[in-house]
Amino acid sequence: MKLVLIGAPGAGKGTQARKLLQKYSLAYIATGDMLREEVAQKTDLGRQVEEIMHAGGLVSDHLIIQIVDHRIQKDDCKEGFILDGFPRTVVQAQELDKLVGTLDAAIYLQVEDAVLLERLCGRQTCSHCGATYHQITLPSKVSGICDECGHALMQRKDDTMEAGAVRLATFHSQSAPLEDYYREKNHLVTVNGLQDADAVFQDICQGIERL
């Protein structure tokens, strides 16, 4: 099964990805993880990425697509995968289709901007395993400590109202044509992300089964 998760920062993609991984036994591939892995392994692609990032530039579509191609060739992707953070544009979506053929679903978690900003400003992430929490809606059992692995929780520097508004504007400018692209291909599953996590997951599974 080949899935793509689409959603603004704070929409709950990480939470739903973990649930989908348990149900379908898929590989989880996030753009940031891919970039860090290539850099850590000192591959040719990783060295290019590191140079660009050190210079403060943005990784090009061409390079990102190469990295995705390299990642999905690995053994853990043989049974399928979930892509989070890629594709971000129609060009990237078209190139992904060339690499993997037909997707099973592109899942769009739809959440109002006001709610997203509230989520972002209280969001905490585990520094070790990546589990996500929220200081108000989903706090850890022990303040500042991950329930899963016991490591410290951190808050991203860009999880502020001002930075969040910019990130949301960028997301919407990119996501609207991406939604249309997958809708025209009958691959889009739109889910109300304002529900509790279990209800969102149930709707995702039902949407995948309907396609």
Q: Three-state SS for 81?
A: strand
Backbone region of residue 57 per phi and psi (left: phi > 0; alpha: psi in -120 to 50; beta: other values): beta
CB count within 10 Å of CB 26 equals 19
Query: Which one from 2, 18, 71, 167 is the annotated catalytic residue?
Result: 167
Q: For residue 18, indicate whether it is catalytic.
A: no
Task: Write the burial class of residue 201 (CB in 10 Å: 0-12 exposed, 13-18 middle, 19+ buried).
Answer: buried
CB 54 within 8 A of CB 20: no
Query: Which one from 18, 71, 119, 123 is the annotated catalytic residue?
Result: 123
Query: Which one from 19, 36, 88, 98 is the annotated catalytic residue?
Result: 88
Residue (of 15, 3, 130, 24) closest to 72 by Cα position: 3
Q: For residue 71, indicate whether it is catalytic.
A: no
CA angle, corner 46, sides to 79 and 15, nearest 5? 45
Distance between CA 144 and CA 150 in Å, rounded?
9
Query: Which one from 23, 36, 47, 156 is the annotated catalytic residue?
Result: 156
Q: Which helix (H) or strand (E) holds 163?
A: helix 161-184
Q: For residue 47, indicate whether it is catalytic.
A: no
Q: How distant is the alpha carbon of residue 92 from its chain centre? A: 15
Query: Which one from 13, 18, 71, 119 is the annotated catalytic residue?
Result: 13
Residues annotated catalytic, as ranges: 13, 88, 123, 156, 167
